[in-house]
Amino acid sequence: MIKMERFFKDMAMAAAQLREQENVERIAAEKSRAEACQKYDQERRRAFGKLKNAKRQERRRREVERNQRNKEQYAKSLGCLDYIDEWLIVTQAQTTPANFDLAKKALIIPESNDLNYTVSHIVGNYVIYTAVIRGNVCQIALLAEKGKVYPSGSKFDIKSVYQITGVERFSKIFGGNVDIIVVERKGEILFTDFYKKPLDVQARLWR
């Protein structure tokens, strides 16, 4: 009888241990499945994020290329070889006697920074714009258009495009002369540039 009771107790204990082991294994399996699901979700989100970013970059690349084509076509429609969409100060700095004839064939597309140029004075048919950039005084002369007024201090029109026509020598107020690049307004900007480059415009124009 005692042996029988001990047998039943041993059986009950073994069953309890088995159930406990099953519970441990079940909990471990559920934890493993949860971790696997979490890892899968993370990888899926990461892959989706990369795909979304790749699509965004591709859209941006196509937009940049489209804007470049629009600018090139517009420049050629106005009889220009190519275009420059840098600051006027950069255009002036890179225009030298060696490449001046080539620079005259480029359509100049100003940037928002060119609003620093304001009308300082008018000499004959030329409107002189002056800007102080990093302590340097920069000037550019614009051929005045008939019927258009250029109030003193008014900002350079960056909604238009320009072309270099030559260089004129002007007398300084306090004596001496200065040579200033002259530009002519060719038309209005007909496109919107959402994304800035860098482009290889300088390499194509100045070599």
How far, in Å, are 140, 176, 183 from residue 169 at the CA level? 11, 10, 14
pLDDT of the residue at 201: 39
Q: What are phi and psi of 91, to 5 degrees?
A: -60, -45
Q: 114 with 87: CB under 8 angstroms? A: yes
pLDDT of the residue at 116: 92
Q: 93 with 206: CB under 8 angstroms? A: no
pLDDT of the residue at 1: 57
pLDDT of the residue at 205: 43
pLDDT of the residue at 85: 81
pLDDT in tens, the chain (207 residues): 555 556 445 555 655 565 666 666 677 777 778 777 787 777 777 777 777 777 778 888 888 788 888 888 888 899 998 888 877 888 887 888 888 888 899 999 998 889 999 999 999 999 999 998 888 888 999 999 999 999 999 999 999 999 999 999 998 877 788 899 999 999 988 766 543 443 343 344 444
pLDDT of the residue at 31: 76
The whole-model pTM stands at: 0.65
Q: 117 with 140: CB under 8 angstroms? A: yes
Q: Residue 92: CB partners within 8 Å, gap ≥ 6?
A: 138, 140, 181
Give residue 78's Cα distance to chain centre.
25
pLDDT of the residue at 202: 39
Q: What are phi and psi of 183, to 5 degrees?
A: -120, 155
HEC assignment per residue over the chain: CHHHHHHHHHHHHHHHHHHHHHHHHHHHHHHHHHHHHHHHHHHHHHHHHHHHHHHHHHHHHHHHHHHHHHHHHHHHHCCCCEEECCCHHHHHHHCCCCCHHHHCCEEECCCHHHHHCEEEEEECCEEEEEEEECCEEEEEEEECCCCCCCCCCCECCCCEEEEEEEEEEEECCCCCEEEEEEEEEEEECCCCCCCCCCCCHHHHHHC
Using CA atoms, how far apart are residues 142 and 122, in angstroms rounded to an integer? 9
Using CA atoms, how far apart are residues 197 and 207, in angstroms rounded to an integer? 19
Give the amino acid at 186. K
